Amino acid sequence: MHRWTARHLPDQTGRVAVITGANSGIGFETAVALAGKGARVVLAVRDPDKGARAAAHIRERTSRADIDVLPLDLTSMRSVHSAASELKATYLKIDLLINNAGVMLTPKSVTEDGFELQFGTNHLGHFALTGLLLEQMLPVLDSRVVTVSSLGHRVKSDIDFDDLNSVRSYDPMVAYGRSKLANLLFTYELERRLAACSSASTIAVAAHPGSARTGLFRHSPRWIKFAAQIAEYVVFQPAAMGALPTLRAACDAGVTGGEYFGPRGLGQQRGYPTMVTSSARSHDAALARRLWEVSEKLTGVTFPC
């Protein structure tokens, strides 16, 4: 479909959607669209006050909104386990897990568990959350794990297993590209495992928003912030448009596991969502398996499938 929009979303009544980082930007617009179609939406956010304000704004935009707010700090395995336990106690099933939250070009820092901040937040936090929630999804017809990557997965990106936490050297762009490449390696390896699991009704899909007006550049160096402000007038699209690839990956009936969605125009930076290709490196199955094994060891989380 050439111009797929949120109007093409099927009815989501009875479905439960968990969205990380849903208090602003792409995650917020994804939540608005799903709530407007009747889904029960869980805003899994680091700051519950911001989550409560986002929930109020969503209710203002759609009268049928059914919204919950869940504290989740992806930089803390303790918080990830706590959030997963609360979700499993509250919901008998989860239809959609949208791994949306992320940080970009942060100063050198580590998570509560000692992981480099971008890799720990963007990949390891979502890896652990998915593994802990997957049992709630496996029996659910058309359940999906959607992980949001970025065009940045192509930039200076590789997985340096000898220095995952950037102890020897730290380049914010290298660390960001690594985390976004990891998102895709994780998605494709998860789909391979789900496809081999006879009891699984779940698929794994990836998406990227192109260049969208969000708060993702807030940690960037001053010159990058300045360039981003200029680019907003030329390239960047509204967050609601940036959310469309995620929504299509999550809800379009024609989607199959292992697909990747992004904007169709201008170097995948803007436009309506379509299936796109990711880098050759992201399809390296041996690299994905090694990353999976290392991620299990680092997080202590193993998957049921």
pLDDT (mean) for 149-175: 94
Percent of the chain whose predicted confidence (pLDDT) is above 70: 92
Amino acid 230: pLDDT? 46
Residue 231 has pLDDT above 70, yes or no: no
Amino acid 266: pLDDT? 81
**Cβ–Cβ under 8 Å, residues 181 and 282:** yes
pLDDT in tens, 277-299: 999 999 999 999 999 999 999 99
- CA of 197: how far to CAs of 41, 202, 288, 302, in Å? 27, 10, 18, 15
286-296 in b/e burial notation, b at 16+ Cβ within 10 A?
ebbeebbeebe
Partnered with residue 274 across adjacent β-strands are 262
Structure tokens belonging to residue 189? 């390896």
Amino acid 2: pLDDT? 77
**SS3 of residue 149 by DSSP:** coil
**SS3 of residue 205 by DSSP:** strand
Distance in angstroms (rounded) separating the CA atoms of residues 136 and 130: 10
198 or 51: which leads in pLDDT = 51
Amino acid at 214: T
Q: Which residues contact 45 (CB under 8 A, 6 or more apart)?
A: 20, 21, 22, 23, 51, 54, 69, 70, 71, 72, 101
pLDDT (mean) for 188-208: 96
Amino acid at 296: E
Amino acid 267: pLDDT? 83
Q: Which residues contact 225 (CB under 8 A, 6 or more apart)?
A: 217
Structure tokens belonging to residue 108? 């050198």
Residue 232 has pLDDT above 70, yes or no: no
pLDDT (mean) for 187-207: 96
Domains, in order of start, for the chain: 10-297 (3.40.50.720)
Instruction: With residue 96 as reference, give the H or E element that holds it.
Output: strand 96-99
pLDDT (mean) for 220-229: 47
Catalytic residue among 176, 188, 260, 272: 176
Residue 226 has pLDDT above 60, yes or no: no
Q: pTM of the entire structure?
A: 0.92
Structure tokens belonging to residue 230? 């200029």
pLDDT (mean) for 259-275: 93
Amino acid at 216: L
Structure tokens belonging to residue 29? 């617009």
Structure tokens belonging to residue 186? 């994780």
Active site residue 188: no
Distance in angstroms (rounded) separating the CA atoms of residues 179 and 14: 33
